């Protein structure tokens, strides 16, 4: 039976994959609001210990970046569905560790397992959708993928904040995490198909490049430094994760210090995630119409502006507006950086190329958490973390504008 590519031809399977990434995002949301806010009261982290507080995000970023590399390679050997299933299996202990963690070190362990899960699972939902899509749909497909994932993350952050007030922090994390992870495992086993067969019948693409000798090393070098267009995308991906590390580590603590209650903190941070998620439905499709480069560069600048506004404005509405602005900037750049990498990679090694890009991107969690932690620690001012991230985004945007190029097949025919 002939396999057809495209959103409409594969609507059923793409719908199942969207449910998967929604649940993957909800799993990530377990750690986004409750854990940083209660680090001092529940886990013994001293006030203003910014480096220790950021340690769990450093662990997450390093592990997830490595797992992205592994996932990309394994997906081309084992298939997408098996790697996704392995991702859910790796997540099973997380709610139990969170519920019974006696110290902050156990939270770092839970976050390490979360990094394994996210690296395997989120990568596969993205790669599988790209296998099924047409080249001119990549922005739209990735926009839908990231919309579902970050909407799930935002919803989980709000739900667990209310659950922590009603049930207790550990009880809420255990109940929510167990339900989400169990459902993801069941749905993957029963409804997700492997999409590798669509790669062998992939539609023609103008971006074909020979990868010889050691394919993994060749692709890693090409994405990381040999091709300046791909390297520009990789560095932008790395730096934009500084923002997400800031939102994860510093925003809850900063807002808590300003006197906000846990549910209000959940709403402010949730605004960032919801705007990021929902706007990607449109920004991904926008890049299919106007190209990738402009949304990527402008997204970096808008996102950094939102970060700086957080320390300028006051009140729930002001902080929500600033968080929403950063979320909109992320929506402009996040799916379209990945779409640009997909434009520049041949189908035969696209999974590996995306894995290498995601390695550098998610390493930004670790580097960003260290950088903003050092900035806050050395200055003893939490606001210094915001300045560090905003300046990093501005410099990265300049590098992307100078070294990057338009990659959409409709506007150019690049060769890598």
User: Which pLDDT tens digit goes with each residue over 115-147?
Assistant: 999 999 998 998 899 899 887 887 788 888 988
Answer whether 396's CB lies under 8 Å from 70's CB.
Answer: no
What does the pLDDT look like over 318-335, one tens digit per residue?
A: 999 999 999 999 999 988
Between CA 108 and CA 115, with CA 110 as vertex, the angle to 5 degrees is 90
The dihedral through the CA atoms of 157, 311, 61, 348 has a sign that is positive
Residue 186: how many CB atoms within 10 A of its CB? Answer: 11
| Other CB atoms within 10 Å distance of the CB of residue 224 | 16
Burial of 217 by CB count in 10 Å (0-12 exposed, 13-18 middle, 19+ buried)?
A: exposed
pLDDT tens digit sequence for 284-300: 888 888 989 999 999 99
Residue-level pLDDT at 217: 87
In this prediction, residue 207 carries a pLDDT of: 45
* Helical H segments across 7-137, by residue range: 11-29, 34-37, 39-43, 50-77, 80-91, 94-100, 104-132
Picking from 241, 237, 252, the residue whose alpha carbon sits closest to that of residue 50 is: 252
Q: How many Å is the Cα radius of gyration of the chain? A: 20
Q: Do 349 and 213 contact (CB within 8 A), yes or no?
A: no
Distances in Å between the Cα of 319 and the Cα atoms of 48, 245, 257, 307, 330 are: 21, 17, 13, 10, 17
* Whole-number Å distance between alpha carbons of 256 and 319: 12
Model confidence at 204: pLDDT above 60: no
Looking at per-residue pLDDT, the higher value among 202 and 337 belongs to: 337
Q: How far apart are CA 48 and CA 380, in angstroms?
A: 8
pTM value is 0.81
pLDDT of residue 7: 87
Give the pLDDT score at 416.
Answer: 45
Q: Which residues contact 375 (CB under 8 A, 6 or more apart)?
A: 384, 385, 387, 388
Work out the percent of the chain whose per-residue pLDDT is above 90.
56
**Which is higher by pLDDT, 199 or 403?**
403
Give me the domains of the chain, ranges plus CATH numbers: 11-403 (1.20.1250.20)
C-alpha to C-alpha distance for 161 and 176, rounded to whole angstroms: 11
pLDDT bracket for residue 109 (50, 70, 90): very high
Residue 100's Cβ-count burial label (10 Å; 0-12, 13-18, 19+) is exposed
Tell me the pLDDT band of 414, cut-offs 50, 70 and 90. Answer: very low
- Return the minimum-mean-pLDDT range out of 141-155, 197-211, 220-234, 376-390: 197-211
From 68-82, 112-126, 402-416, the region with the lowest mean pLDDT: 402-416
């Amino acid at each position: 039976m002939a396999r057809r590519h495209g959103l409409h031809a594969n609507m059923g399977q793409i719908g199942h994959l969207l449910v998967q990434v929604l649940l993957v995002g909800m799993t990530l949301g377990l750690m986004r609001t409750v854990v940083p806010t209660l680090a001092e009261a529940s886990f013994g982290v001293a006030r203003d210990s910014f480096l220790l507080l950021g340690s769990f995000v450093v662990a997450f970023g390093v592990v997830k970046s490595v797992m992205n590399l592994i996932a990309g390679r394994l997906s081309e050997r084992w298939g997408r569905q098996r790697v996704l299933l392995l991702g859910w299996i790796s997540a099973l202990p997380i709610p139990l560790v969170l519920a019974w963690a006696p110290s902050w070190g156990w939270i770092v362990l839970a976050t390490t397992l979360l990094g394994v899960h996210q690296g395997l699972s989120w990568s596969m939902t993205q790669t599988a959708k790209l296998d099924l899509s047409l080249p001119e749909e990549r922005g739209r497909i990735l926009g839908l993928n990231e919309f579902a994932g970050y909407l799930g993350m935002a919803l989980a952050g709000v739900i667990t904040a209310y659950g922590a007030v009603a049930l207790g922090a550990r009880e809420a994390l255990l109940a929510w995490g167990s339900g989400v992870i169990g459902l993801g495992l069941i749905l993957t086993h029963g409804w997700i198909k492997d999409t590798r067969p669509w790669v062998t019948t992939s539609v023609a693409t103008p971006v074909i490049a020979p990868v010889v000798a050691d394919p993994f090393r060749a692709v890693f070098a090409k994405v990381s430094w040999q091709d300046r267009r791909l390297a520009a995308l990789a560095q932008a991906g790395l730096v934009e994760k500084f923002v997400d590390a800031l939102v994860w580590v510093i925003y809850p603590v900063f807002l808590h210090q300003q006197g906000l209650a846990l549910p209000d903190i959940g709403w402010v941070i949730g605004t960032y995630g919801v705007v990021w998620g929902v706007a990607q439905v449109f920004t991904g499709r926008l890049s299919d119409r106007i190209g990738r480069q402009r949304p990527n560069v402008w997204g970096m600048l808008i996102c950094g502006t939102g970060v700086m506004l957080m320390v300028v404005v006051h009140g729930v509405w002001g902080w929500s507006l600033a968080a929403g602005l950063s979320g909109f900037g992320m929506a402009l750049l996040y799916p379209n950086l990945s779409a640009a990498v997909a434009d520049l990679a041949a189908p035969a090694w696209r999974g590996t190329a995306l894995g290498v890009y995601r390695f550098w991107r998610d390493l930004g969690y670790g580097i960003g958490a260290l950088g903003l932690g050092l900035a806050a620690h050395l200055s003893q001012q939490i606001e210094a973390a915001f300045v560090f991230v905003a300046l990093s985004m501005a410099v990265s945007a300049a590098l992307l504008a100078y070294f990057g190029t338009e990659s959409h097949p409709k506007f150019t025919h690049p060769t890598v």
